[in-house]
Structure 1
Amino acid sequence: MKLFHHANRERNADTRRVYALFEIVYTAVDFAAALCFTVGSVLFFFPVYEIPAVWLFTVGSVFFMAKPTIRLIREIKLYRMGKLDRLAHRAEGE
């Protein structure tokens, strides 16, 4: 099994569940990042709100940085689940 291989998420009910949970987290982080950038952009129209706008851009950047991290963690977890499945299958064959 390879990382980022579509078959990893379709192996069984557990892998489909893990994939779905990570997609929910990924989408929530994506939405939070977009919300931070949108609100921060609007706040930049008002000089008095410049500091909160900068903070929202910083927080939004952290959210955007978290997105590939979430994907990589998901793929590593799915990969390891596949290795466990293969080990269990080998143990049953002995």
Structure 2
Amino acid sequence: MTRSRLFRHENRERSHHTRRVYAAFELAYTFVDFSAALCFVAGSICFFYESLMTPGTWLFLIGSVLFAVKPTLRLIREIKLVSMGDTDDVASRLDG
């Protein structure tokens, strides 16, 4: 798999199944994005109160982890979409 095959629009439009996979990953990506933003807003509010500093810090950490999940989801999605179109490559490796 070469880098040039990743992140191509054609990968998601190849079939009904690839469109469904793309849509599922987009829903997950949006959920993670929204959750991360919510953690940062809640964490920011917590910092207004001395007694909530520790929960605020945890919310910032969770939000940061969620933001790290976003590009991971995109990469996994693209690898899955590319692999869904590699049937000829798989067949040639099995014949060899």
Shift of 1:87: 5.5
Rounded to whole Å, the distance in 2 between the matches of 1:54 and 1:20 is: 33
Instruction: For 1:38-49, list aligned pairs within 5 A.
Output: 38-49=41-52
Q: Which deviations, in whole Å up to 9, do the C-alpha atoms of 1:22-67 show, x marking residues without a partner?
A: 0000000000000000000011000110000000000000000000
Question: Kindly, what percent of the aligned residue pairs are identical?
Answer: 57
When normalised by structure 2's length, the TM-score is 0.87
- Work out which of the residue numbers 26, 30, 37 in structure 1 matches 2:29: 26
* Match of residue 59 from structure 1: 62
For the pair 1:2 / 2:5, whether they are aligned, the reply is yes
Q: List 4+ stretches of structure 1 deviating above 3 A.
A: none
Aligned residues: 89
* Match of residue 37 from structure 1: 40
Q: Give the aligned CA root-mean-square deviation in angstroms.
A: 1.8
Tell me, which stretches of 5 or more residues in structure 2 are unaligned?
none
Instruction: For 1:79-90, list aligned pairs within 5 A.
Output: 79-84=82-87, 86=88
When normalised by structure 1's length, the TM-score is 0.89
SS at match of 1:45: coil
